[in-house]
Structure 1
Amino acid sequence: MIRLFSGSLFKGAGLAFGLVAVIGCMFASMAYGATQIGWPDVIHSFTQYDGTSNAHIIVQTSRVPRAFTAAAIGASLAVSGSLIQGLTRNPLADPNVLGINFGASFMVVFTVTLLSVTSLPVLTGVSFLGAAVAAIAVYLLGSLGRDGLTPLKIILAGAALSALFSSFTQGMLVLDEQSLNEVMFWLTGSVAGRSLDMLEAVLPLMATGWIAAIVIARHMNVLTMGEDTAQGLGQRTLFIKMGAGFIIIALAGSSVAVAGPVGFIGLIVPTIARLFAGNDYRWIIPYSAVLGAILVLLADIAARFVVQPEELPVGVMTAIIGIPAFIAIARKGSVKK
C-alpha cells in the first residue's frame, strides 16, 4: 500500500510539474517570434491591456490564439494516439491508422478544387467531416467477418482507405495546380493564422473527448490484456472499442480540422508517456495530454526560427522531431504495455 501510494504521489507530482511546463511553454509561445516581446509585456497584455501598444496587439490577436491552439491540438492528438495504440496493441500506431488525416485532406482538397471554397472556417468544418467519415468507414470495414472488430483488421482497413483517399487527393491536385498552392500550407499542418473562434468551435468536442478518455482509461487497461482475457473478466469489449473509436474521432478529427494533419504527435508522445506513467492508462492519458501540448508548443516556437525571416509549418517541425523517434521505436521492436 505504501509503495502504491508513493508511486501515485510521484506520478502526480510529475503531472503537476508538466502542467506548469505547459503554462511556461504557452507564455514562451506568446513572447518569441519574428517580433521579440518581453515576458512583462506578455503578462501586461492580460492584466493592463493597452490598445496602442504593438506588443499587446500582437500577443492578443496573433500569439494567444496560436498558443492555445497548439496546446489543444497537441493534447488531443497525443491522447487519441494513446487510445489507438491501446486499441490496436501496437506502439507504432497513431490516429492516422483510421485514415483521419487522409479523409480530412481529401475533403479539403475536394472543397477547394471542385467547389472553389477557400474560407478557413468552412474548410475547418469539411475537414472534420472528412476525418469522421474516414474513421467510421475504417471501423465498419474492420467489423466485417466472423471475428468482428480486431486490431489487425482495423490496421488493414485503415491502410486501404488511406491509400484510396490519398490517391483521390493527389489526382485532384494534379488536375488543378492552383488549388495546390491554396491548400499546401494547410496540408503540411499549421497553427499560424488560426483564430480563437476556430478553436472555440471544436473546443467543446475536444473537452468532451479528454474527459471521456479519462473515464474509459481503466477499461483500456483490461482491453490491452487481450480480447479473450478482457471478455473473461466480463468486459464488453465491443462497446469499449466503439467508445474508444468515437473518442479518437472527436479528438483527432477536431485537431486536424483546426490545424491540418500535424503528424507524429500521436505516435511518439504515448511512448514517452509510458516512460513516466508505466502501463496504467489512468496515468498514460493525462501524461500524454500534457506532453503532447508541450511538444507541439516547442515545435511551433522552433519553427519560427529555423528559416528566418520565414517560418516553417509546425507539421514540418513535428516530422523532423518524429522521424528519428519513429526509427528508434521501430528498432526497439515492441514496447511493453
Structure 2
Amino acid sequence: MITLDDAVAHRLGRRTASRVAGLGAGVLVLALLLSLSLAVGTRGIPLGSVWTALLNPGDGSRESIIVWQLRMPRTLLGIVVGAALAIAGVVMQAVSRNPLAEPGILGVNAGAALSVVLAISVLGVADAGDYVWFALAGAVLATALVYGLGVRTAGRGDGVQGRARLVLAGAALTACFGAVTGTVTMFDANTFDSYRFWVVGSLANRDTAVLGHVLPFIVAGALVALALGPRLNALALGEDVGISLGVRPGRVRFGGLVAITLLGGAATAAAGPISFVGLLVPHALRLVLGHDVRWLLAYSVVAGPILVLAADIAGRVVARPGELEVGIVTAFAGAPVLLWLVTRRAGRPA
C-alpha cells in the first residue's frame, strides 16, 4: 500500500531528477556555444580545427594562435561574466521581491562607470586593464551608499518599507552618478574617447589578466549567494514566516547586497555594463523551475553564460566583417522582453 508520504517523496524525487537532467542539458548547450565561440569570428575556423588547436596548444599554427590567444580569453570571460550577472540577478530579485529588478538598480553600473570616468579624466589612466580596479571600487562604493541611504533610513531595513527605500536610493544615486559621468565626458573629449569603448559592454580585447583580477571576487560572491539560498527561500514566504523560521531579514538582505556587489561589480569591471542579463535569466528560469532560489541559483550558473555567449556570437555574425558588442545585442534582445514583462504585470489585478 502506497502512503501519502511515499507518493509525495516519489513526486519530489522525479522533480529533482528532471531538474538535474535539465541542468545537464544546459551544460551540453553551453559546451556547444563554447565551441562556436572559438570557431566564429572574422576568420572562421572549422570545429574540427578548433578541437585540433585545443589539443595542440603549442603547435604554432594560425588556428592555434587565434583560438588560444584571441578567442579563448574572450570566451572564458563571457562564461564568468554571464554566470556572475545571472546569479546577481537571482539574488537581487529575491532580496527586493521584485521579478523586474536587476543588479543595476543598486547603482552598480553607474558607480563603476563614474569611477572609470574619473580615473581617466583625473588620474590619466589609459590602460583598459587598470579600469578593473576603479570600476570595482566604484561599484562597491555605490552599493554602500545605497545601503546607507536606503536600508538604514528605514530602521532595521525589514519589510516593504526597507525594500522600497533601497530601490529608491538606488534609482536616485544612479541618476546622480549618471549626471556627473555625462558632464565629465561632455567637456573632456579625450576621456569620452577612452570611456566609450568600455561603456558599451564588450568581451573583445580582454586578456586573461582581466579574468584573473575579477575571478576571486566573483567566486566569493557566488559562494555567498549559494549560502543564502535557503534563507532567501524562507523570506519568500513573508517576513513574519521567515523570522519564525529563525531567519533575520536584515542580515539576509545585507548578505545579498554583498553578493550582488561582488558579482555585479566584478562583472561590470571586467566587461563594462552588460544590461538585461540579470533580468532575463532569472525570470526565464522562474517560468520553468518555479520560485525555489536554490535551483534558480544552480541553473543561473549555466543559463547566464549561455545567454552571454549566444549574444556575443550573434554580434560577430550579424555585423560581418565588423561586430556588435555583446552589451548592444543583449540590450536589443532585452528591451522588448522588459516591455512585455511590464505590460504583462500591469494587466494583472492588484
**TM norm structure 2:** 0.93
Instruction: Report the equivalent of 2:42.
Output: 34
C-alpha deviation, 1:143, in angstroms: 2.0
Instruction: Report the equivalent of 1:247.
Output: 259
Amino acid at match of 2:61: S
Contact 2:281 2:300 in 1 (8 A): yes
Q: 2:87 aligns with which of 66, 75, 79?
A: 79
Q: 1:179 aligns with which of 191, 202, 206?
A: 191
Instruction: Report the equivalent of 2:272.
Output: 260
- Gaps spanning 5+ residues in structure 2: where? 1-8
Instruction: Report the equivalent of 1:272.
Output: 284
Amino acid at match of 2:13: F
Q: 1:10 aligns with which of 18, 22, 31?
A: 18
Instruction: Report the equivalent of 1:111.
Output: 119
Residue deviations 1:35-83 (CA, integer Å, cap 9, x gap): 1011122112221234431111010001000101011101100110010
Residue deviations 1:9-42 (CA, integer Å, cap 9, x gap): 1011001111121121111100011110111221
Alignment of 1:1-337 (within 5 A): 1-149=9-157, 150-333=162-345
Query: 3-state SS of the aligned residue for 1:143?
Result: helix
Contact 1:41 1:55 in 2 (8 A): yes
Aligned length: 335
Contact 1:11 1:276 in 2 (8 A): no
Instruction: Report the equivalent of 2:6.
Output: none
Query: 3-state SS of the aligned residue for 1:144?
Result: helix
Q: Structure 2 CA distance, aligned partners of 1:302 and 1:143? A: 40
Q: Structure 2 CA distance, aligned partners of 1:171 and 1:145? A: 29
C-alpha deviation, 1:197, in angstroms: 1.4
Query: 3-state SS of the aligned residue for 1:167?
Result: helix
Residue deviations 1:213-261 (CA, integer Å, cap 9, x gap): 2221111101122222212322111111111111111110110010000
The 1:146/1:325 distance shift into structure 2, 3 A limit, reads closer
Q: Structure 2 CA distance, aligned partners of 1:76 and 1:216? A: 15
C-alpha deviation, 1:121, in angstroms: 2.0
Amino acid at match of 1:54: R
Q: Structure 1 CA distance, aligned partners of 2:277 and 2:340? A: 15
Contact 1:231 1:237 in 2 (8 A): yes
Contact 2:107 2:143 in 1 (8 A): yes
Bigger radius of gyration among the two = 2
**TM norm structure 1:** 0.96
Amino acid at match of 2:151: S
C-alpha deviation, 1:7, in angstroms: 0.5
Amino acid at match of 2:299: Y
The 1:226/1:53 distance shift into structure 2, 3 A limit, reads same
C-alpha deviation, 1:146, in angstroms: 4.7
Q: Structure 2 CA distance, aligned partners of 1:299 and 1:164? A: 30
Contact 1:269 1:291 in 2 (8 A): yes
Q: Identity over aligned residues, as a percent?
A: 35
Query: 3-state SS of the aligned residue for 1:115?
Result: coil
* RMSD of Structure 2 on Structure 1 (CA): 1.3
- Gaps spanning 5+ residues in structure 1: where? none
